[in-house]
Every structure is written in structure tokens, then in C-alpha cells.
Structure 1
Amino acid sequence: MTGTTVEQGRRNADRQDFLGACGWQTAQVMPLVDDASARKYFRLERKHDTALLMDFPPSAIHVDPHGIYENPERPASVEPVLQTTALFERAGWRVPKIHASDVKRGLVLIEDFGDVTFTRALQSGGTMDGVGQDGLYLRAVDQLIGLHRFCDAGAVADCGLVTYGADNFRRMLTSFKTDYLPLIIPDAQKRDAAMVDFDRLLDDVLPLCWRVGDAIIHRDYHVDNLMLVENGDGGDDCGIIDFQDAAIAPRPYDLASLLRDVRHDISPDLESRMKQFYLAAFPSLDHSDFETAYVANSMVRNFRILGRFGWLAIKAGKTRYFDFIPRCWDLILRGAVDGLPALHHWVETHIPYDARKAPNISLSPTHSNKKAPQ
């Protein structure tokens, strides 16, 4: 019996013990598709009840989401899930209720929102629950409006979340330089030049992210993490999941995450209308400053995503996200000519068009013949 098999057996026993303590020991347990993190989810079914089991063992390696540490690989913990659930409930968001938790073992039993994500509703062409594309995005933006009004009423001061500064973003983007750039610039001298200029670019651009202040952010706000949840009154609410990495950060960050989503096509017209809908709720915000901050935050988010794709490929052997890379570059450059010319210049100087496609990992100087951990 291998060490991995022994560890899996122990983890299965931990889950069963936890479910027994919660009264779910007889439930049918079905694993759900994993995401880009070490968290695993299982759907539980017993008679007419369902719930989700989150499994995030403390032994798992978790990448620091907030750019606090120079070494980003940290022990996993479910405590942020408990903290942010309570916070967003106070903010009025519809988030999954927590039925039980075991922080020491990294297990949480939560409400099951079902399977109707906004992504699925969009793919149905508006036939699912009768909600079209505009209606779904209006709901999503309206949730941000409610959250930011909660922030403007003083909630930021005592929410207990990490507060981002430029140094946090800079550390988050280290992975872009160390894990992604080697995949597309194999020549060390050219790569070093690109990194030096990239640091100068960040000196200029990062302060612009805060042009319109900060707010509580979800940090991964997009249609895959938004769900249509029945509310018992014949309608449905906008359910929100995967918010455990929430922080205090530049105000436009979540809106840029939603409207410049690497996984989904959003027309410039829809993006513009949704931004105007948001800005109409906050008439005191300067529109020019907001647009500058919006483009700067989109840059940060998409460079961070590219770094994450590189890390997953090198450290975890996961290259399935490479299909999104050309779109990442498109989103980074959208509006850059007028809004952030220094960004446009850096990309045109160091990242030729062909390098903005899915990389050939075998050409990377960091690639090894040693099999990556699964």
C-alpha cells in the first residue's frame, strides 16, 4: 500500500467521522469536478435533502491569495470560509449557510445551491428560468452595488479582512514573472529585460488602481461563482459562492473581474452598459478616474491569472487552462492604448503576438522531465 493510498484512506475516514457527527453518515456522497485549488467538494444526498461537503485538508498546499508573503505557498485553512460567510451575510448577500464545520480537520458542511450557475443560464440562451443575458449581468452588478453601499456605510473599517496596497498586488504578480514568463520567453537575457521593464510598469500603474478608493471585494467575482437559487416565493435569488479570499481592495476590481472574464465573451456594448448602471448608483464617483482604475485593475487581475496558469502547469501538471491565455492578453490590452499607454508599450515591446498564444511547456527552462504532482 503506497503512502498516497494510506493518506487517502485516512482522509476518507475523517470525512465519514465528520459526516457521522453531523447526522449525514447515511448520505450518498458524489464528488464534484475540482477547480484550480486544493479544495474538493462532494454533494451529499439523503432522501429529499442535499448539502455540500467542502474538503480542504490542512496538509494541502494553498497559494497565498493576498500577496502577504514572499513565499506564497501556505498551509490550507477553512477559517476564511467561516469569516467571510458571516461578513457577506451581514452585507445582504445570499451565500450558502454553514451547517457544521471542523476547522482542525478542514471540513465544512454547507448549503447546496444546486447546479444553475449564471454560466449555465447564459449557455441556455435565456431559456433557463426566463432570465436573459442582460438580466443576469444586471443582477450581478446590482449585488456589487449593494456590497459597496454596505462599505460606504462604514463596514470596511471593522470587517477584519486583509487590506491590499500596491505591494500586495506586486507580490501577487511575482508568479507572472517566475511561473509564466519562462513559458513564453525562453531566452534568459530577453526575459530579464522584460522583468525589469515590468517592474517599472507596475511602479507607474499600480497606484492608479485606487483612483476611486477601495471596498470589500469577492476577489473572484464572475458568472461561474454566481447562481440562481430558489427563494421559496416562486422566484430566485442571486446566490454567490467561492468568496473565501475576500479582501479590502480597489473598488473596481470585482466589476472588472465580472465584465472582463477570461472564460466568457462579453460584448463592449454590454460591458459599457453595465459600468454605466454601476456608476449611476454612485453619482459622486468621477467617471474618468473610475475608468482608469477599472483598466488598471483588469491588468492586475489578468496578469495574476496568467501567473496562476503557469504555476498550475509547472507545479501541478495542469495545462487545461492554456486555452484561455489568448483571451487573457486581449483583456489586458483592451483600452490600454488610450487608458494605459505604458502597458500597451510593454506588451508590444516584450510579448510578440505569437507569444500571446498557448505556450509550449516543453520549451520552458523551468520544465523538468520529472512528473509533476497531481
Structure 2
Amino acid sequence: MTDALASLPTREDQRAAFLARAGFAKAVLVALPADASTRRYFRLDGAGLLLMDSPPHSEPIGPFVRIARQLQGLGLSAPALLQVDEEAGLALIEDFGHDTYTRLLAAGHPESELYHLAVDTLVVLHRAAPAAELAPYDKQRLADEYRLFIDWYVPLLVGKETAQALRDEYLALFADACGDVAKRREALVLRDFHVDNLMLLQGRKGVATCGLLDFQDALVGAAAYDLMSLLEDARRDVPEALRKALIKHYLLQRPELDARRFLEDYRRLAAQRHAKVLGIFVRLAGRDGKHAYLAHLPRTLGLFVRALDAEAFAPLREWLDRHVPGWRDELPAETLATLRETPYRLVQGSSHGHV
């Protein structure tokens, strides 16, 4: 048995064989920093290409390939696909370079220009009919995400057993607030549309200058989701005046929408996303040892508290005030210190989560 296992090709062997088949046997690979998922990327030095390694047992590569082609069909810039082996979970894709929105903003690039381009990109995406074969962003998928707050964040405030006892009431109240928006089938929702996953591409025109990354988990749902994800970013502050201007910029280009309903969807999805992200950041730190995400908890909590000011969330807000004391306050220093210890466990679950 041991000899048989030893003879199986390693992941490194599989990557090398794939590159050889593609004509890049001698390519020098440079690993790129990992994110919150199990996917890995390697830059082929000097080739203008990336090797995408997406383990088939945890993150099949097929959805990335299909959605990339759909985006390209709309004139949007998803990475070109040079060679794909879906069974192995490997692909050679276009390298968009280094100009992520995050880097450009840190270097002082005009903020309004980048954000307006991203919003214009969403307008093009949302005017197109979403692919029928994609799964819906339905009430179950929304619930699978907002439950992360009660499963991972709330136990830090009231203890694991109390949080478990409160779980069903929390889920029911959140479901009531999201019942209407869960029925939307308006657009392709990329779900991770924020500055870390957007790039500025030289030599292209219009919305094609906005490079799109990390879209393999796309579903069909409410058009408001990705705009909210961009403007209510867990990783960076978006000035309120700019946020309002960009929402107006989007709506002016889509006069066919019911603006009031769109804004209501935006608010409800903001609460849903921030609940998810608070849970994911705690899980990434406490279970997976990825402590850098803790720096973003105060901002995300502030966004969550603001989102729950919406009238639709009054019952949940009042319930949290009664049952989860301190939910509006930043986590104490000693709690954060515990999260930085290894090992640390609250509940078991998947390590994957998009933020």
C-alpha cells in the first residue's frame, strides 16, 4: 500500500506533465500569494501566462472555464484560456500582470476613475441575460452564508453552546428579511467583485480595460449584489460621497430598473454579505491560521451594523440586542489574542469561503 501510494504522481508532477503537454516543459514557475481558497497560481516567468492549479476534489476548474467564456462573449476581460485539463484541475491562462486595483489605489491612482470603470463593467454584465445553466443564488445559498455569523462570530461573544441554542431563531429572522431578494434571477452574480479581484489592463478600450478575476463561484441572482460588494468592501474604506455617486451612476445607466427596489435589495444583501464575511474572517484566523483577516473585522462590523439599520432588519436587530450583548462592539483584545493561537476550534466546516 505504501509503495503504491509512493508511486502516485504528486501535484508537482501533475503540474510538470501538464506544462510539458502545453509546450512549456522548461518554464520557470513563480508562486503567487495564496488567498482564502485552496486554488494556487504560478506565473510562467517571461511567458505572459499563469498556471492555475485548482484541486478537482475541492474546487473544480470547470465553472471558471465556463464563466470566463461567458464573460468574454460579452466583451468583458476574463483571462484568455490557452490550455485546460478539467480532470486534473489545471489551466494555462492569460497573465493580466500586476496592476490590481488594490495596488493602483495604494500607489495613488485616481480612485473615482477605477471605481467608475468597475461600475460600467457591471452595467454591461447586468444588461445581458444570465446563463440558464448556472445555479440560482437562492434562499438556501444565502442562508449557508449568513449562518457563518452565528456559527463562528457569535460564539466569541456568548459561547459556543449559547450560540448553538440561538441558531434557529437567528436563521429564521434573517430568512424573513432576505425572502424577497432571494427570488431575484436578474443577473450573473460574480460574488467576489471587489478591488482585490479587479485589474486595469493597458492597450484595451472601454470596459475591456477592467480585468476580472475570481469569478468561478458565480450564480444567478440580484443585480444589486456585486455593486454592493464593490462599494461595501471589507478590505478598504470607500468614501461615502463616492459610494452614493457610484450607485447613482449605475442607476442612471439602467433606467429600466425599479430604483427603490434595487436599493432595498442592496441593503438586504449588504447585511447578508457582512454577516458571512465576519464569520469567514474569524474562521480563517481561528481555524486556518490566516490571521491577517482580523485587521478587517472592525470595518466589516461597522458595515454590518449600518446594514442592520434597514427597516427590514428591525426584528433581527432587536433580537441581537436582547440575546447577543456587545454584538455592535469590536472584539476585545483578549478574544483577538485567542484567535491568533493555534490550534483553535469552534465548529467544523469547509475551509473555502469567498470574501
Q: TM exceeds 0.5?
A: yes
1:237 aligns with 2:209: yes
Counterparts in 2 of 1:265 and 1:25: CA distance versus 1, 3 Å? same
Q: Which amino acid aligns with 1:87?
A: Q
| Identity percentage of aligned residues | 33
Question: Which residue, 193, 200, 204 being the options, matches 2:172?
Answer: 200
Unaligned runs of 5+ in 2: none
Partner of 1:169: 142
Matches within 5 A, 1:201-216: 201-209=173-181, 214-216=186-188
Q: Which SS does the other structure have where 1:30 is aligned?
A: strand
Partner of 2:71: 88
Counterparts in 2 of 1:336 and 1:178: CA distance versus 1, 3 Å? closer
Partner of 2:122: 144
Between stretches 7-16 and 138-147, larger displacement belongs to 7-16
Partner of 1:323: 295
1:21 aligns with 2:21: yes
RMSD: 3.1
Q: Which amino acid aligns with 2:133?
A: G
Aligned equivalents of 2:224 and 2:7: distance in 1? Answer: 43
Q: Which SS does the other structure have where 1:284 is aligned?
A: coil
Q: Which SS does the other structure have where 2:309 is aligned?
A: helix
Matches within 5 A, 1:343-362: 343-349=316-322, 350-352=324-326, 353-354=328-329, 356=331, 359-360=335-336, 362=338
Counterparts in 2 of 1:275 and 1:249: CA distance versus 1, 3 Å? same
Between stretches 314-323 and 82-91, larger displacement belongs to 314-323
Alignment check: 8 A CA contact 1:97 1:110 kept: yes
Residue-by-residue CA offset, 1:340-371 (whole Å, 9 max, x unaligned): 3334334433251445467447489x9359xx
Q: Which amino acid aligns with 1:142?
A: D
Aligned equivalents of 2:7 and 2:258: distance in 1? Answer: 55
Aligned equivalents of 1:13 and 1:180: distance in 2? Answer: 40
Partner of 1:63: none
Partner of 2:49: 51
Residue-by-residue CA offset, 1:178-219 (whole Å, 9 max, x unaligned): 233223321623x24542431232132112425876311111
> How much has 1:234 moved relative to structure 2?
12
Alignment check: 8 A CA contact 2:81 2:92 kept: yes
Q: Which amino acid aligns with 1:33?
A: P
Alignment check: 8 A CA contact 1:183 1:361 kept: no
Aligned equivalents of 1:125 and 1:218: distance in 2? Answer: 27
Partner of 2:90: 107
Counterparts in 2 of 1:203 and 1:12: CA distance versus 1, 3 Å? closer
Partner of 2:59: 76
Alignment check: 8 A CA contact 1:212 1:290 kept: no
> How much has 1:122 moved relative to structure 2?
1.1
Structure 1 residue runs of 4 or more that deviate by more than 3 Å after TM superposition: 5-9, 210-213, 232-236, 346-349, 353-364, 366-369
Counterparts in 2 of 1:338 and 1:179: CA distance versus 1, 3 Å? closer
Partner of 1:260: 232
Superposition TM-score, scaled by structure 2 size: 0.86
> How much has 1:28 moved relative to structure 2?
1.5
Partner of 2:39: 39
Q: Which SS does the other structure have where 1:230 is aligned?
A: coil
Counterparts in 2 of 1:283 and 1:233: CA distance versus 1, 3 Å? closer
Partner of 1:72: none
Aligned equivalents of 2:290 and 2:91: distance in 1? Answer: 26
Partner of 1:286: 258
> How much has 1:105 moved relative to structure 2?
1.3
Residue-by-residue CA offset, 1:250-284 (whole Å, 9 max, x unaligned): 12000110000010110111110000011111223
Counterparts in 2 of 1:80 and 1:211: CA distance versus 1, 3 Å? closer
Residue-by-residue CA offset, 1:295-338 (whole Å, 9 max, x unaligned): 10011111111222233234423232111111111111225324
Partner of 1:336: 308
Q: Which SS does the other structure have where 1:92 is aligned?
A: coil
The alignment covers a number of residue pairs equal to: 340
Aligned equivalents of 1:138 and 1:233: distance in 2? Answer: 14
Q: Which SS does the other structure have where 1:17 is aligned?
A: helix
1:250 aligns with 2:222: yes
1:228 aligns with 2:200: yes
Matches within 5 A, 1:180-195: 180-186=153-159, 188-189=161-162, 191-192=163-164, 194-195=166-167
> How much has 1:167 moved relative to structure 2?
1.9
Aligned equivalents of 2:204 and 2:219: distance in 1? Answer: 31
Q: Which SS does the other structure have where 1:88 is aligned?
A: helix
Counterparts in 2 of 1:41 and 1:7: CA distance versus 1, 3 Å? farther
Unaligned runs of 5+ in 1: 60-74, 127-131
Aligned equivalents of 2:45 and 2:265: distance in 1? Answer: 45
Q: Which amino acid aligns with 2:68?
A: T
> How much has 1:24 moved relative to structure 2?
1.2
Alignment check: 8 A CA contact 2:232 2:303 kept: yes
Alignment check: 8 A CA contact 1:252 1:293 kept: yes
